[in-house]
Amino acid sequence: MIRINEHYRKLTASYLFADIARRVAAYAEANPHTRILRLGIGDVTQPLPPAIITAFHEGVEEMARAETFRGYGPEQGYAFLREAIAREDFQSRGAQVEADEIFVSDGAKCDTGNIQELFAQDIRVAVPDPVYPVYVDTNVMAGRTGAFAAGRYAGLVYLEGTKANGFVPDLPSVPVDLVYLCYPNNPTGAIITREALSRWVDWAQEHQALILYDAAYEAFIRDPEIPHSIFEIPGARKVAIEFRSLSKTAGFTGTRLAYTVIPKECVGYSADGTSQSLHALWHRRHTTKFNGVSYPVQKAAAAVFTPEGRAQCQALIDGYLANAARIRACFEELGYFCVGGDNSPYVWVECGMDSWAFFDMLLTQAGVVCTPGVGFGACGEGYARFSAFGSPETVDEALERLRRIVPARS
């Protein structure tokens, strides 16, 4: 008899975005003549920049000629891409990261989920609340939690992000081995200061803990005082792993390329207390379970780090940030408290009612889709996330509709 992994049965009934899709589909079927405007899921809408398209075509053409054809590439990524990433994304900011500490993959979502395979099943895991659901669900699948009740899984340590602390959780008050941090944050759009991030690194060093740092939205940072990488913080190389993605930086949501940085001195500990290189363990896992990103995609990705690519990607991001600024301004004009939208493509709005009720109101009365905050955790109740990844025309039309139906608050 083939048996299943029983931990999957602990997962909540449906993934957040699948539940949203079901509700939107039902509304669309009942209202076929209504144009639905989506400010919910964080998928980009603008085409790839010209420099990237040119490089993509060059990569495809190379695959069509015998003298330049490539078969299996290095699982960790081609050297030309890893060297560009190390130089432009990290060393240019004073972060000590070498090319061979970078692992190229097909998505940060995959890497943040798969990385937990390196760790013992009985470690104590801390997640922020609100939280990107993948951090939680993959640890449920791995058997590190108890049952789901009252909006949370037993066995996880939830670090509450609230209006009072600026959605930057306090350090754990109980023993923790592994903590997930994401800044600029998904879903709240909050940022973390250099001082606050330094406190996390100091804590991890003191407790021999590890920080999994998701920096997928770092390209949206405009404040020069905000760190783009945890490796800008002294001491982080021993206690942190960082995840990056080109999905939002360069519009690669459908093209697929990301990278994970694991410094060589980053360690975990075996049962007898001896330190083990997490770089070496991930290298073993990566080369065993992953065959690499296709050559044309890596060729296109390398163009992101050229002067032309940088400028063109920056223009894309500027457009999305302009959308975010208008979304935030709309709700603030109506009297709503907001976070994000300045150094992030997400605007986190305190909606003043049940999150799903607010979602349903916007959908059924305005044909506008947001993301209910409670879908990201108990601390998200009473909030909604708005994504700035639509076209300017879509965002403006959505805001016009919202102004007609969202009640002003004093």
CATH of the domain at 156: 3.40.640.10
Q: Which of 269, 209, 266 is nearest to 241 (CA)?
A: 266
- Tell me the average pLDDT across 231-254: 98
Residue 251, pLDDT score: 97
Structurally, the chain folds into a number of domains equal to 2
254 found inside a domain: yes
Instruction: Tell me, yes or no, whether 69 lies in a domain.
Output: yes
Using pLDDT thresholds of 50, 70 and 90, give the confidence band for residue 18: confident
Residues 33 and 124 in one domain: no
Q: What is the pLDDT of residues 246-260, one digit of tens each?
A: 999 999 999 999 999
Same domain, 83 and 150: yes
**Residue 388 belongs to some domain of the structure:** yes
| pLDDT at residue 182 greater than cutoff 80 | yes
Owning domain of residue 330 = 6-47+308-405
Q: Report pLDDT digits (tens) over 113-161.
A: 999 999 999 999 999 999 999 999 999 999 999 999 888 999 999 999 9
Encode pLDDT of 59-87 as tens digits. 999 999 999 999 999 999 999 999 999 99
Q: What gap in Å lies between CA 56 and CA 72, rounded to an integer? A: 18
Residues 105, 108, 111, 113, CA torsion sign: negative
Given a cut of 70, is residue 408 above it in pLDDT? yes
Q: Given this model, what pLDDT does residue 88 score? A: 97
Q: Which of 306, 328, 362 is the last residue of a domain?
A: 306
Give residues with Cβ within 8 angstroms of 134, minimum separation 6: 109, 112, 113
* Mean pLDDT, residues 211-235: 98
Total count of residues recorded for the chain: 410
Structure tokens at 365: 């009365």
Write down the mean pLDDT value for the chain: 96
Average pLDDT over residues 327-351: 98
Residue 321 has pLDDT above 80, yes or no: yes
What is the model's pLDDT at position 360?
Answer: 96
> Does a structural domain hold residue 35?
yes
Same domain, 301 and 320: no
Domain identity same for 124 and 182: yes
Distance in angstroms (rounded) separating the CA atoms of residues 95 and 98:
9
Give the model's confidence band at 355: pLDDT under 50 very low, under 70 low, under 90 confident, else very high: very high
Per-residue confidence (pLDDT) for residue 217, from 0 to 100: 98
Q: Judge if 163 and 284 occupy the same domain.
A: yes
Query: Does 287 lie in the same domain as 157?
Result: yes
Q: Same domain for 278 and 328?
A: no
Residue 32, preceding peptide bond in cis (omega within 30° of 0): no
Which of 271, 290, 306 terminates a domain? The answer is 306
Q: What's residue 13's pLDDT?
A: 61
C-beta of residue 122 within 8 angstroms of C-beta of residue 92: no
- Looking at residue 12, its pLDDT comes to 79
Judged against a pLDDT cut of 80, whether residue 15 lies above it is answered with no
Are residue 132 and residue 224 in the same domain, yes or no?
yes
- pLDDT for 14 equals 59
Buried b or exposed e, range 180-203, using 16+ CB within 10 angstroms: bbbbbbbbbbbbbeeebbbebbeb
- Residues 6 or more apart whose CB falls under 8 angstroms from that of 355 comprise 372, 373, 374, 375, 380, 381, 382, 383, 384
pLDDT at residue number 319: 98
Asked whether residue 1 is assigned to any structural domain, the reply reads no
- Tell me whether residue 410 is in a domain: no
Residues 233, 371, single domain; the answer is no
- 172 found inside a domain: yes
Instruction: Tell me the pLDDT band of 41, cut-offs 50, 70 and 90.
Output: confident
Sign of CA pseudo-dihedral 303, 305, 306, 311: positive
Residue 328 shares a structural domain with residue 264: no
In a shared domain, residues 212 and 274: yes
**CATH number of the domain to which 393 belongs:** 3.90.1150.10
Query: Confidence class of residue 293 from pLDDT cuts 50, 70 and 90?
Result: very high
Which of 306, 334, 368 finishes a domain? 306
Are 230 and 83 members of one domain?
yes
Percent of the chain clearing pLDDT 70 (strictly above): 99
**For range 330-345, the mean pLDDT:** 98
Q: Which two tokens stand for residue 105?
A: 């993959």
